[in-house]
Amino acid sequence: MSAAPRIALVVQRASRASHVPPDAVLRRWARAALAREAQVTLRYVAEAEGRRLNREFRGGDYATNVLTFVYGTRPLAGDIVVCAPVVAREAKAQGKPVAAHHAHLLVHGLLHLAGLDHERDDEARRMEARERRILASLGFPDPYAPVTMSPDRL
């Protein structure tokens, strides 16, 4: 049996959001998502920084949920930026626990780092299937399943 790949995950908290999971949990999720050695900085940001980074690097003048920056492939190296307020808003709007959405976005960002994408339909199907498998192994439901809102949430 081979040893699990070494994932060096540095967590930066530039957001005061209290719902960001603990580092140990984030590291466990990262190990589940990547099957190879990696050096990753995971930075949680507030709205202003998320918006600035998205504008600078993606051309969108809004804070997006996750951005991935790849710096190397051997070993895998890069940054993942997660906008904590956007994660909380999206989780609430989608009727899912915020921890589940954090897990999904970290897995999503790590898969981008590993070279997966969702620009074409076939790529999106492959990436979403991988996300579903990883999240299920962590005990989370399918992030793409339609959400049924309970009457008290309508």
List of domains in the chain:
7-141 (3.40.390.30)
Position 104 scores a pLDDT of 98
88's tokens: 């909380």
pTM of the model: 0.93
**CB neighbours of 19 closer than 8 A, spacing ≥ 6?**
84, 87, 88, 98, 99, 102
CB 76 within 8 A of CB 68: no
What are the tens digits of pLDDT across the range 106-132? 999 999 999 999 999 999 999 999 999
Identify the residue with better confidence: 143 or 154: 143
Predicted pLDDT of residue 1? 57
Residue 149: per-residue pLDDT: 57
Lowest mean pLDDT across 45-49, 117-121, 145-149: 145-149
CA distance 122 to 2: 31
